[in-house]
Structures are given as C-alpha cells and as structure tokens.
C-alpha cells in the first residue's frame, strides 16, 4: 500500500516526521480556549465586588441660594446705584458635573433723577464643574445662558418728573454669564461657595457687561437626611453577605449591604466595622487550600469585603477588623460574612 507524500511547503515542528504546525495549531487553539475561562473566572473572583457603588439618583438633586451684588459698568456708574440681589436654583450633579435652573431678583436704583428703579429677574440654565482640591476647599466654574427680564420705572420727561408721572418699561434680553467660585467645606451634601464673575446683557444698543460677586450655599436634601439618620443609628448587625459555594464571588443581591455599610461609615466617623467570616469544619468549603498554600477561604472572603469598603468608600483599614468563627453544623453560615457596625 502506497503512502502519500507529505504536502510540500508545510514545515514540520521537528526536523522530520513530526507534527507540522497547521496540524498542531488546532490543538494549541483548543488548549488556549479551554484555559481562558479559568483565568477570567479568577479575575472575576477578585474584581467582582470592586465596582463603584450606586448612589440613588435623587440624592444628587441639589438646591442652592446665594446673595449677589452687581457692579455698575463704568459707562453707567454715575447714573446707577446697585443693591444686593438674590438667586435660587435647583439642579442635578453627576460626577462633579452640575446642571441647574436658576432665577432670582436684583434691584438697581437710579441716581439720575429721571430713572427711579430697574428690577432684573433672570431665568437661566447653568452648567458647571466642581473640582475638590483638599478636604475643606475646592473650585467650581459655572456658565449660564438664558433670559433676563427687566422692569424700568422712570420719568419720560422733566415735566413727568415735576408732576410725578412715572412710566414702566418691560423688556427682556439675552444673558450670558460666567462664574468662578472657591468652595469651602465641600462635603458630599453641603457646599459653601464664594466668588465672582460677569453677566453680559445683549441689548438692542449693544452688550452691557455687569461684573459681580456672589456667595451662597448648596445642599443635597435627600443625602443630608440619610446622613443625619445614619449618624444617629446605634450598633447594628447587618445581614450577612453570602458567597457562592467554593468561591470568593459574592452573590450580587448582597452587594447593597456593603454599600449601606460604607455609606454609614462615611456618615459617622466614630463607627467601626467588624467583618465576621465563618469557616467550615472538615474542609467542606475548602477551609485551607493546602495544595497552593493560599489562606482560608473565609479569610479571602472577609478581605474582599474589606477591600470593597476601602476602595469604594475610602474607609481606613484601622476602622475594619476581621473575625473568624466556626460555622458548626449550620451549612448556610459556611458561605457568610457578617457585617457588624459599632
């Protein structure tokens, strides 16, 4: 029986008679594919619980109020005397970006006998970014665009002035503004800010620049209420966080428990957390991985919970302690890490 010659142009792995590369490649590919999920699972085991926590959307809603003072432009400073104004806004903050709707009231008194008073009421959209610099200070830049409604009370003529015959003019103009603030006490739910900027009114006769200074306070009501409530809570044992069998992958439904613990630890600096991990007797849950020399499975699980709190909430390791307990005959406790705040 004749033996077919090896196809030309296909080099062999060895000098001759061995497996050629095309024939051996499928085996290598299958080996690589089979090993890839194992590596992915190991990565998932260590990173699955390290995703950023989710903050309820309504806790990012803020309200703010401020006092504002305009400076009359140089060309009008002999005719106008500005008074402090007020501003109020409601908005939403996401990853330090801020979006808000603002309105308010400003009063300008005329020093010219024919101009008695000018009232300015803005309605603008604000877009900004807050940059925390240190623990008690930060910077914030805002841009605003919208409409400013003005009401001018004046005398049309000298005769009107003599007869005290006042007239009113209502106008609206396009407004473009910019602000730069220094933030004091940039807490997660409270900010005190002060700074300056300029509003430009685009009138038919041309733009009118209005330099200003402003100081105010910004509060996130829902977040503030939660933090105050958490600060007043006493020692609490949260339900345990459960892991999958023979794994360091936490069950997704228990991650909110770690989020609650992290938020409450941040809200109350006097709180400490104890992570109580349970190990199984007789190696039922791989108490010690003798073959690799890795630590007890219960220790790995407790350390993952501690790392979650440190990475996502900035909890110092000095505020976290870990305990190990024998689960006894309670098989459910084999997979549990209790979270105790005190």
Would you give the distance in Å from CA 85 to the centre of its chain?
Answer: 31
Assigned domain for 314 exists: yes
Assigned domain for 27 exists: no
Q: What is the average pLDDT score of the chain? A: 76
Q: Between 102 and 323, whose confidence is greater? A: 102
CA distance 184 to 191: 6
CA distance 279 to 285: 7
CA distance 222 to 58: 7
Residues 85 and 218 in one domain: yes
Residues 146 and 210 in one domain: yes
With bands split at pLDDT 50, 70 and 90, how would you rate the model's confidence at 340? confident
Residue after which a domain boundary falls, among 223, 256, 290 = 223
Residues 274 and 206 in one domain: no
Tokens of 323: 């305990």
Q: Between 19 and 76, whose confidence is greater? A: 76
Q: Are strands 115-132 and 97-110 parallel, antiparallel or unpaired?
A: antiparallel
Residue after which a domain boundary falls, among 192, 223, 254 = 223
Residues 272 and 209 in one domain: no
On the 0-12 / 13-18 / 19+ scale of CB atoms within 10 A, 86 is middle
* CB 169, CB 128: distance < 8 Å: no
* Integer CA distances (angstroms), 329 to 122, 288, 295, 332, 336, in order: 70, 18, 22, 9, 14
Q: Report the C-alpha dihedral over residues 92, 183, 132, 227, rounded to 10 degrees.
A: -60
CA distance 187 to 136: 8
Q: What is the CATH number of the domain that holds 156?
A: 2.40.160.20
What pLDDT score does 109 carry? Answer: 73
Tell me the per-residue pLDDT of 60-113, one tens digit each, with 9 for 90 and over: 999 999 999 988 777 666 666 778 899 999 999 988 899 999 999 888 776 666
Other residues' Cβ atoms within 10 Å of the Cβ of residue 82: 20
Number of domains in the chain: 2
**Least confident window among 9-13, 114-118, 197-201:** 9-13
Residues 168 and 194 in one domain: yes
Rg for the chain, CA atoms, rounded = 34
Residues 160 and 273 in one domain: no
Residues 174 and 252 in one domain: no
* pLDDT beyond 90 at 281: no
Residues 290 and 267 in one domain: yes
* CB 309, CB 265: distance < 8 Å: yes
Q: What percent of the chain has pLDDT over 90?
A: 25
**Phi, psi values for residue 47, rounded to 5°:** -110, -10
**Structural domain boundaries, residue 309:** 233-341
Q: What is the CATH number of the domain that holds 292?
A: 3.30.1330.60
* CB 10, CB 16: distance < 8 Å: no
């Amino acid at each position: 029986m004749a033996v077919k010659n090896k196809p030309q142009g296909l080099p062999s792995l060895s000098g001759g008679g061995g497996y050629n590369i095309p024939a051996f490649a499928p085996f290598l590919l299958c080996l690589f594919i089979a090993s890839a999920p194992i590596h992915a699972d190991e990565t998932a085991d260590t990173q699955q619980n390290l995703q950023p926590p989710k903050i309820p959307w309504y806790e990012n809603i803020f309200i703010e109020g401020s006092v504002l003072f305009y400076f009359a432009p140089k060309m009008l400073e002999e005719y106008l005397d500005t008074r402090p104004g007020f501003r109020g806004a409601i908005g939403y903050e996401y990853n330090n970006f801020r979006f808000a709707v603002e309105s308010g009231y400003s009063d300008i008194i005329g020093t010219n006998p024919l101009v008695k008073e000018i009232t300015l009421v803005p309605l603008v959209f604000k877009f900004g970014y807050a940059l925390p610099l240190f623990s008690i200070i930060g910077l914030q830049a805002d841009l605003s665009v919208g409409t400013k409604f003005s009401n001018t009370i004046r005398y049309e003529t000298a005769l009107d002035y003599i007869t005290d015959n006042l007239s009113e003019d209502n106008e609206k103009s396009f407004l473009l503004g910019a602000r730069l603030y220094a933030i004091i006490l940039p807490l997660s739910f409270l900010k005190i800010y002060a700074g300056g900027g300029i509003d430009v009114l685009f009138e038919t006769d041309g733009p009118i620049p209005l330099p200003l200074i402003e100081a105010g306070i910004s509060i996130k009501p829902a977040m503030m209420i939660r933090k105050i409530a958490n600060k007043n809570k006493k020692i609490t044992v949260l339900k345990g966080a459960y892991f999958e069998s023979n794994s360091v992958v936490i069950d997704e439904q228990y991650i909110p428990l770690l989020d609650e613990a992290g938020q409450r630890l941040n809200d109350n600096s006097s709180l400490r957390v104890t992570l109580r991990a349970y190990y199984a007797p007789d190696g039922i849950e791989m108490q010690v991985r003798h073959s690799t020399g890795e630590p007890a499975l219960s220790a790995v699980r407790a350390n993952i919970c501690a790392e979650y709190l440190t990475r996502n909430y900035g909890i110092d390791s000095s505020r976290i302690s870990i305990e190990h307990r024998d689960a006894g005959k309670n098989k459910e406790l084999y997979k549990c890490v209790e979270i105790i705040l005190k």
